[in-house]
Amino acid sequence: MRLPPATIDPGPIDATLLWGHGQHRIDSVWTNEAGDRSYHVRGTTILVPYHELYRPYLEAAGLLSVVPLVPMNPDASLITALVERWRPETSTFHLPCGEITITLEDVVTLSGLAIDGDAVVVDIPDEEWSAICLRLLGRVPVDLVGGVAVVRIVWLRVEFSHLPEDASQEVIEQFARAYALSLIGGVLFPDRSGSTVHLQYLLLIEDWQRAGRFAWGAAVLSYLYREMGRSTLHITHTGTSLAGDLGGWVALLQFWAWERFPHLTPRDSETRAQATEDASPRGL
């Protein structure tokens, strides 16, 4: 016998563990308040163009393995279906067959990013951001005013699109930093604006050798965990809704889904190539 929705409680029997159920997006899905809206994936595909002369710097920083994995066209329906089943209380996806999650092993297998090493932490600088930009990038954004610590990705794209043929080693390194900055802030750790990058990431690649000691993979996974947790909130403590926007490296989530659920992988080779732009997470 089919019971009316009013008599069925979609929540857990014991709420002591899944304490955030009343604020979870699935609650609005159950009451049909969410409608058919998919998550809007934040991030950018407008990266600074890659040049082979950047390879030594990116390799030293431990970021080279990510280069063939971008840009990525996300499958919004797949991402939405997964994130709606994410429980931040347990950091797992709750499926009819049980719980499953993305692990550090998945990250290193799919992306090649290091999962052990130094924590990705930025020290607060004493310098003005304009001075930091001039020193590390060789130029200062025109709209960088006072204590504003963000730069538009479009500005990076325009200013660093064409590496001069007679570029000195210093200029090549500055262009490589601009590419790495757009990669880190626009792909691996995108904010909810989807159009700006925080300049704090520039300090992470000031010293390429030091950057190579960072556990980038662990940081990417924890950031994705946090963003998925925030995105499942139907109502936050301020009374606003974050459900609908999703930050973090969503491509990692999609690669993981294809790997763990092969039947979700596009069967058409043309569709698969279009989704990944010839990137292969297994071909690192």
Three-state SS for 61-78 is HCCHHHHHHCCCCCCHHH
Residue 72 half-sphere exposure toward CB, CA atoms < 13 A? 27
Q: Checking DSSP bridges between strand 40-41 and strand 86-87, what pairing results, if any?
A: unpaired
Confidence tier at 100 by pLDDT (50, 70, 90): very high
Partners of 198 in the β-ladder: 150
HEC-encoded secondary structure of 8-28: CCCCCCCCCCCCCHHHEHHHH
Q: What is the pLDDT of residue 279?
A: 47
Helices (H), the chain: 25-30, 55-61, 76-83, 104-111, 129-136, 153-159, 169-183, 200-204, 208-211, 216-231, 250-260, 269-276
Q: What is the pLDDT of residue 95?
A: 86
Closest CA to 160 of 144, 142, 143, 138: 138
Q: Which of 4-13, 231-240, 256-265 has the highest mean pLDDT?
A: 256-265
Note whether 39 and 78 are within 8 A (CB).
Answer: no
DSSP 178: H
Q: State the Cα–Cα distance between residues 238 and 37, nearest whole angstrom.
A: 22
Tell me: the pLDDT tens digits for 65-81? Answer: 999 988 777 888 888 88
- Taking residues 53-65, report their average pLDDT: 97
Q: What is the pLDDT of residue 206?
A: 95
Q: State the Cα–Cα distance between residues 22 and 11, nearest whole angstrom.
A: 8
pTM: 0.82
Lowest-confidence region among 4-13, 99-108, 137-146, 182-191: 4-13
Share of the chain above pLDDT 90, in %: 44
For residue 194, give the amino acid letter.
Answer: G
Q: Two tokens at 113? A: 């990013």
Q: What is the pLDDT of residue 278?
A: 45
Helices (H), 62-199: 76-83, 104-111, 129-136, 153-159, 169-183
Tell me: the pLDDT tens digits for 168-218? Answer: 999 999 999 999 999 999 899 987 777 888 999 999 999 999 999 999 999
Q: How far is CA 95 from CA 20, 25, 83, 231, 261, in A?
A: 17, 15, 11, 18, 12
Q: Two tokens at 253? A: 């989530």
Q: State the Cα–Cα distance between residues 184 and 179, nearest whole angstrom.
A: 9
The residue behind tokens 């596009």 is 266
Q: What is the pLDDT of residue 21?
A: 64
Q: State the Cα–Cα distance between residues 78 and 41, nearest whole angstrom.
A: 12
Q: State the Cα–Cα distance between residues 195 and 46, nearest whole angstrom.
A: 9
Q: What is the pLDDT of residue 2?
A: 60
Note whether 141 and 152 are within 8 A (CB).
Answer: yes
